[in-house]
Structure 1
Amino acid sequence: MNVLPCPPADWPRFSALLDQCLELEPAARSAWLDALPDNDLRFRDALQALLLRGERRSGDWLQTPAAAVDAQPPAFVEGERIGPWRLLRPLGSGGMGAVWLAARADGAYQREVALKLPHAHLLGGALRERFGRERDILAALSDPRIARFYDSGIDGEQPWLALEYVEGTPITQYCEHRALSVRERVALLREVAAAVQAAHARLIVHRDLKPANVMATEDGQIKLLDFGIAKLLDDDPADSDLTQLGGRAATPDYAAPEQLDGSPITVATDVYALGVMLYELLTGARPFPVRSRLGRMVEARHDAPLASTRVSGKRRGELTGDLDAILAKAMEPDPAKRYGSVEAFSAELARYLAHQPIQARRIGRWRRAAKFVHRHRQGVAVAAMLALAMGAGLAGVLWQSQRAAEEARRASAIKDFLIEIFAASDPRTASDQPRGNITAKALLDAGAAKIESRFADDPELQIELLRTIADLYAQLGEDARYEALQALQLKKVRERFGPLHPNILNGAVESAQRACSQGEHAICAARVAEADRQLTASGDEDPHLRAQWWLARGLQLQGEDGRIDETERAYASAVELYRRHDPRSRGMVTALQELATFYTSMKLDHARAIAAYNETLALAESLPDRNDAELQTLYGNLGLAHQQLGQFAEAAEAFRTSADYADRTSGAEFPTAWVPRVNAARTLHLSGQREAAHREFARLLPLLPADGRHATDVATVREVYGERLSSEGRPELAIPQLEAALALYARQTVHSFKLRLVRRYLGEAYARAGRDADAGRMLKASLDEYLQQQSDSDQPVMAIRESWGRWLLERGRLDEARAQFDSVVAHADGRSFAHVALAHGGLARIALAETRTADALRESGAAIAGWKDVTGFRDVRMGPYLQRIHADALAANGQLAAAQAEEDAAAAASVRYDAPGVATTQRRRMAAQR
């Protein structure tokens, strides 16, 4: 076997000396060798021999790792067995070893892996430690975007690592083959950043990020490879052999300056490499030429050329501005000036994708000039002398000066404008109201009124301020002011930039969403169609806007009967667009949330809703610009889904978290806090904690406005409160609440699914109050509406059939009631729903009415057994109802002692669960039924 030109333990020092020697001109190398210090003289002969051999070889020698000059890799062959693996075909090779596709050969299990085979002769000293380091690092990483580690070992002298085999192409090739847009490439790089951040979270820096180590699968999934030179952040002193060797093993094309000059390695090193990778993805070129893969760069790295200067045409315009600034900050030579983490870099890219202001300083013409001078000092000096001699360029300088002055003027104007607005709250200024009482809205009103006149000579700034203040009014719920300023802003944009400016397209989609959210169905449909027309006319270049359009389309469709499947496809289309183009964005959070809400409210598939909410929450909580108000809503909706499955502990925890967020953000009195709190109260009530529930209701009800504001939130609170009052035996108090909720929902067609639910609740309340005709009318209407939308096997249909059957039973219409109960039981399909148990109870009551006592006992027994095994939604008050039916059946069959025990248990439970004094809390004396 060939050996290294020095003992393995001396390789780091030998490599460093060879680097220094290669940086010299060939004629100066002999004198340098003669001047080696005493402690390095032992390397002189080996260095000289290596240099002589290199001079006799082709120029490719400089591109070959030094270890490969004298040490040829062992020749592996197809079918050869290494440890428990059989080699199938080579995947690649390099200075450190080879990689083969291999399959398990010992029959333990079937798996194909990428088998990494480091050169055995390299595994001495620090290199052996490095091999162990890669094994330990890979074993600790579990992110799905990082190639998995399976096993490792040594076969004789040959070490091996078994890694996940990734069928894909390097990210650069993937982007080119798919002809991805600039925004799509940025979104894909964010996936790489997420994988790197996962490693950083385990205190691991990759240190060799490059396209060859980032594979993209056919479906666009990212896999990060090769942690062979990764460095644990809390391990290894900077001057250890391992660290020095690891630093040298990095690929110079993507290496940060600190890797090339031996400075400490931090997370900023990976930020730099990600910046270089994105630079290459966007321009097709690397920012720096590489003179030698073995030594340091001949020229020290300063600022990279701006990415926009490496391309032309449309691509140049896309990179100029935000992306130039982001890349420049990511590739700052000084690590302290880069983004503080990969997560921060990714968040900046997210802001770019969302058309939000970035944090990096944009690179204007003056800053471009400064960077150019910094990179080309000598050339610029000569050019400057010639320019001065010829008097050229004066006009350009004057223009730049005027431009800078104009920008300074605009900044000063904005500053003065803000000072003037906030001066309205200065207590020293005369006013007709106490200065401490001036609200944020009053200040906003003062500013909005002055924008048009104050900035009449600067229409672009005027447009920007109008849009910003319009958005602030929307956040405050001031719809009229929002609409007025938004219309004014869009009018000015249309006049100045034409009908397809991004502001116009955004405005069209946003207008559709607002109309659909407010239940204005005809307006909603018209605006959705208009937004679609405008997006199509613009070439549909922005997938984010199209995804937002699909969300508006979903809102439109869910307000129309019989279009549940189309609604689901609309929301799913929005999710898919974000998943492809911007999976770690706030837009993705919104799309997932809407899909989950659809599963809860319309599809009534609460298990899928919970899965979707959990995915949404995981993403929302991981974003750097976390939105606590949004998290409050998400946790509230998650609690509602758990509640519908009868998972009261999980529901209570979710509602509690939602309420905590409400207290920290808007405050308990703000409308967004009402729904999670009323659902928390409902969970308490459903689980039997009546007094605690009513304490929550008592806090909420006084907050509800009577002037029509916040109609949806008010309707939800009244619906829940009324339904709970009815269930505990107080229908007279429940009916006004439910009628108010029904009226509010009826004015908003987007809530048609709520109408049929509230009609059922109201029908049940009418029945308990003895208003038989009203009850029958309302329950039948609810049943008919459900049957238009859903099938008999759906739980909500079972619930309304059981309610309708109970009303028929109370009216003595036994055959009609039996048909309803039989339908519920027939469509149970083995599912233990609460309303199946109630249907068995209804059949037992019919049997008692027909004096079929044995059938009554059988059906009531089935009801009790079914209640004990209930999965999904349930109200503890259903239990005592079924116990009383079973007590009647037992008494009818002469089992009086058992009947009385069942009745006593039912009465004791009702005392805890129902309102004091209602009939269900009164204990009955059981007698034999004849």
Structure 2
Amino acid sequence: MAETRLIHGRYRLLEVIGRGGMGEVWRATDESLGRRVAVKCLKPLGARQDPDFLRVLRERFRREARVAASLQHRGVTVVHDFGEADGTLYLVMELLEGRNLSQLLGDNARHPLPVHDVVDIAEQVADALAYTHRQGIVHRDLKPANIMRLADGTVKICDFGIARLGADIGVSSRLTGTGIAMGTPHYMSPEQISGDRVDHRSDLYSLGCVLYEIATGAPPFDQDDAWAILVGHRDTPPEPPRRRRADLPPLFERIVLDLLAKAPEARPADAGDLRRRITGTRRTALPANAPQPPHLPDAHRPVPPHPPGTGHPDGPADASGRVPLHPGPGPAAPALLPAWTRSMTTGRTSVGALLPHAAPPPEDPASALTGQWTAAGAPPRPRTAPALPGTPVAPALPGTPAPGAPAPGAPVAHTAPPPVPVPEPDLLAVLAGRHSAGLSLGRLGRWAEAGEAHRAVAAERARLLGPDHPDTLASRYEYAFALSRAGRPAPALREFGHVAEGRARLLGPGHPDTLTARQETAHVLGRLGRHAEAHRVYADVLAARERVMGADHPDTLRCRHNLAFTLGRLGRLEESYRTAYEVAAARARLLGPDHPDTLVTLYEVAHVLGRLGRWADALGTYQEIAAARARALGQDHPDTLAARYEAGICLSRLGRGREALELYRDLVAARTRAQGPDDPETLRARHGLGVNLGRLGRWEEALAEAREVAAARTRVLGPDHPDTLVSGREVAVCLGWLGRWGEALTGYRHVAGARERVFGPDHPDTLASRNDEAQCLEQLGRHAEAVELYRRVAAARRRPAPG
């Protein structure tokens, strides 16, 4: 395999990025599509193995690889292809840039992760499990090494199906005779240990073990003896995690303990229910200021469950604070375990494997299929250490304002630095940690703080490494991204421009990282309403991406998607529709029809169809998107509900008001259930409900609904927020239809005045409000005032737009 460097005439192996007991993971290029991938190669087991065993292994590998390849969810690693070449089984997957949870704990000096990170990881893993369990798939080997956190904060479960293969081999009496043992027992459910039937609730137990470990720094049962661990899972209640870490939210502790229930029926009913419970703990888990430092105060550090000399509910503790394996006379309890557990070793825990000077554990062939792939090369840089208290703030970057943070999925070049004095490695590690803390702040939506963190790190990196060093430019990129997300597009545009120029000098104008910075420049131009300039940049970047990466590369398709969006904003609707349709077709072919990226582009197709007046086509497309998202994400997921909202607009436009009304009633209930009554999206659904009440002639009900929504939006969003003003206008519309023209005029004037303050006198929304005001004056018989107002609006619309 390694000699040819080419698998199946398609996958070019570039470098080993990980190794396990039975194979390797390679960074590779899919030469057919021009994309980067990861290829996991399982080595031949050798002549010593039973031919029947090899046949069973191959068959199960193929079966489970097909299962893994069928999964389409943002929280599950995408499997592109699989097969066998020269006796080696291989699996082609998306290339993930990030760290698994085992590595994150190691980066964090074996201390638990910050609470908000733990809750975020828990929520994302539960969401992915809810999807896979709906597909009838049980992972069976969930552990920190199989959960990856990417640079943008996305969490993905790895080795679906292959983990199931490993479990099948481990518990099969026919195969255990060959010497294959189960992997680490630290994350096994009681029913797995007892050899009972395993279903989705076993995954929930394993997730409870993972969450316990990343929240406290140690698994719930952390003895040195495998049998002690197994007995702990089967018979011993876990110690409440807040005894080990007092700052954990009580609600989150309750969730973890429910997951660790011995009986499957005592655990949460399913992962969807679990995700909703975790979401409910989010507010209590968010820190008041910066992310928690990795070196927690002593009160928050993991301690032995029961210090020496203290009591324990299951018997006296030994000098290490652990309960002896056989608390009573004789080994009665362990003897009840299945025979296949007798040869088990403790295996690797996330933190135990990272103890300094510890001898590496023996390789476990079964866990090599599913277990941790150790990173090749130099030790990883820390990724979770936040800004250190008392660190001086670096001076501002030349020509840049303050505050701004992360760019999900943005590639960052890390080439050799220019010839400058080499700074202390410890200082670079501190800056890397502060950079990571900025990313964490961005994931929490705290963009101003994130931007300030990245601005300070960028200034310090510029001083130490030089202004064009890849790490300096990476920090400035994140600073620009945060400025954009914080609603400051003008300074963001300057920063992205600087990064693009620096990367062009360092890497070349056609390098993917240079093109990524230019693409973000175009995005910010669009945010500023400069769509013609954005179109030119997108067109240039698209041409370069097609030349360098090919027409079907994901980054090329993303750029074409953005170009379609911009064409629509320029009023070039037919071109926008054609471009978006082509991108959707390409994404469906390459990623699958239900892939999130495919559905996002279909969403744009539907939007343009609506603007073209093709409401029936738009309705069908939105309904298709809603059905696909419901399958992948669930009925109450915000993305599913967003597509249903747009379907309601189409129904209204088609005159199908009663259907629209019922859809909006369901939507309001779902939004309230999932996000609360005052969430902006819930209020948007209520607004749609009120509009459709009016279209059905039920104006009193429509007026009451519009007033309630306007009051809620004023309270939640502020009196001058665009959505609040839309609701104010709807109140005036209802008053007009009820013949209460004097009150309607007051409402229209209020909205027009607010829009003039916010948007300016010549903004299209301001002029539309003045037009409403003129129509109201006509209804009141004040024709001269109405005519004068109509003239002013017409003159403003004839004036050329500034710039």
Q: TM-score, structure 2 length as denominator?
A: 0.46
Q: TM-score, normalised by structure 1?
A: 0.41
Structure of higher CA gyration radius: 1
